[in-house]
Amino acid sequence: MTENDQLQGQTGEEIRMPDKKYKPGNNKLDSFNWLKDIPDCPDGNEIVEIRFKNTRKGFYRNINNLRLEIGDIVAVEASPGHDIGRVSMVGRLVRQQLRECKVLPSPDDMKKVYRKAKAADVQKWEEAKKLETPTMLRSRKISEELKLNMKIGDVEYQGDKTKAIFYYIADERVDFRQLIKVLADEFKVRIEMRQIGARQEAGRIGGIGSCGRELCCATYITNFISVTTTHAKYQELSLNPQKLAGQCSKLKCCLNYEVDCYVDAQRCFPPKEIPLETTDSIAYFQKMEVHKKIYWYTTDPHSATNLIPVPVQRVREIQAMNKKGIKADRLLETLPTWETEPLSEDLLKDNSLTRFDPAAALKNQPHRHSRRKKNRRNHGKRTE
């Protein structure tokens, strides 16, 4: 009796993962084939992209010239044995992807696609996937017994059940040589340890972000770009860790989305560290509105009260005057006029069905109440 059977017996029920049906376009590692309507050359499937569990994917050579389509299950070369994966990209799009990734395909370095998966291969692959959750739970207990400061987040079995990849998270360097020996004796497979970050872990688990939508790392982000507080400063966001941090306790990846727009808008802005000198006082910078091109100043550098909005063009003029030793009479050439809030208007006040008809057509139409008046006249004659 194996440890997996013991684990299943302790819980009383067999640990089963929910059945997942493959739907093209609804998977994280799927790629949109925007070149599918363009006729391709006969040897277009010489190189294909295969995706596996999590964010693992790679390019393989189709040595047998198989007619592969996106979503096909294939058996590919692995070390050792073979692995099972799904085709995620074919045709001309693969060569375009190789250029963007700056990958030079070499026949000797690239692994091969053996064949389309048979029924026996798929059955063995499904059996291997069912072992992943019990293996992960048991490996966590083993790591706790060895007192290792690490967390095993996921386990991925190879398609032929000869190798298992353990994904773990650790804040510092971990000596897991003893752990590999214990896991190899426990599960009788080849062990590979692969460290992932907190963002990869959040993307694997999934969740709902503060925007109300599913996490970007769980839907389409596979390559994580570093995010710093400088991105928040460029966008004039408050440096509040509770608002800027995501579920992975790191800065949100969405801070990268609009930072280029803010950087481009601020390239022509004057320096904000220089105070503005006037005949009455000295104004100090407090904040700015990038897209409105407004700097906010106050006369007290330690307080954010009595803020005065100054356009960027006026700030540039005053700084040029101060550089020549001239003080401006006032910050603003004209006093700011605060506009009242616009009143709501009735958008359906002119809701007649004939409002778009030409005037000539309206003249030819009979009068609206002509028949009613005629009936009244006829009724009056009858009564007399």
Query: Same domain for 36 and 112?
Result: yes
C-alpha dihedral (339, 343, 348, 350), degrees to nearest 10: -70
Domain housing 290: 276-323
Q: Is residue 353 part of a domain?
A: no
Strands (E), the chain: 47-51, 57-61, 73-77, 82-89, 111-116, 151-157, 163-169, 190-195, 276-277, 282-289, 294-298, 308-311
Q: Is residue 142 part of a domain?
A: yes
User: Radius of gyration of the chain from Cα atoms?
Assistant: 34
Q: Is residue 355 part of a domain?
A: no
Q: For residue range 166-209, list pLDDT tens digits in order.
A: 999 988 888 888 999 999 999 999 999 998 888 888 888 888 88
Q: What is the DSSP letter of 54?
A: T
What is d(CA 3, CA 16) in angstroms, rounded to the nearest whole number? 16
Pull the structure tokens for residue 139.
Answer: 């490996």
Query: Same domain for 226 and 259?
Result: yes
- Of 218, 295, 279, the C-alpha closest to 253 is 218
* CB contact at 8 A, 255 and 235: yes
Put simply, whether the predicted model's pTM sits higher than 0.85 gets the answer no
Query: Same domain for 248 and 138?
Result: no
Beta bridge partners of 152: 168
Query: Same domain for 41 and 113?
Result: yes
Query: Same domain for 256 and 282?
Result: no
Sequence-separated (6 or more) residues with CB below 8 Å from residue 169: 150, 151, 153, 195, 196, 197, 198, 201
Residue 63: predicted pLDDT: 87
Q: For residue range 16-64, list pLDDT tens digits in order.
A: 444 455 555 556 666 677 777 776 665 567 888 888 887 788 889 988 8
What is d(CA 376, CA 384) in angstroms, rounded to the nearest whole number? 13
Residue 335: predicted pLDDT: 59
Query: Same domain for 53 and 104?
Result: yes
Query: Same domain for 15 and 124?
Result: yes
pLDDT higher for 361 or 66?
66
- Residues above pLDDT 90, as percent of the chain: 28
Is residue 224 pLDDT above 70, yes or no?
Answer: yes
Q: For residue range 297-326, list pLDDT tens digits in order.
A: 998 888 878 888 999 999 999 999 999 999
Other CB atoms within 10 Å distance of the CB of residue 232:
19
Query: Same domain for 131 and 113?
Result: no
**Counted domains in the chain:** 4
Residue 80: predicted pLDDT: 83
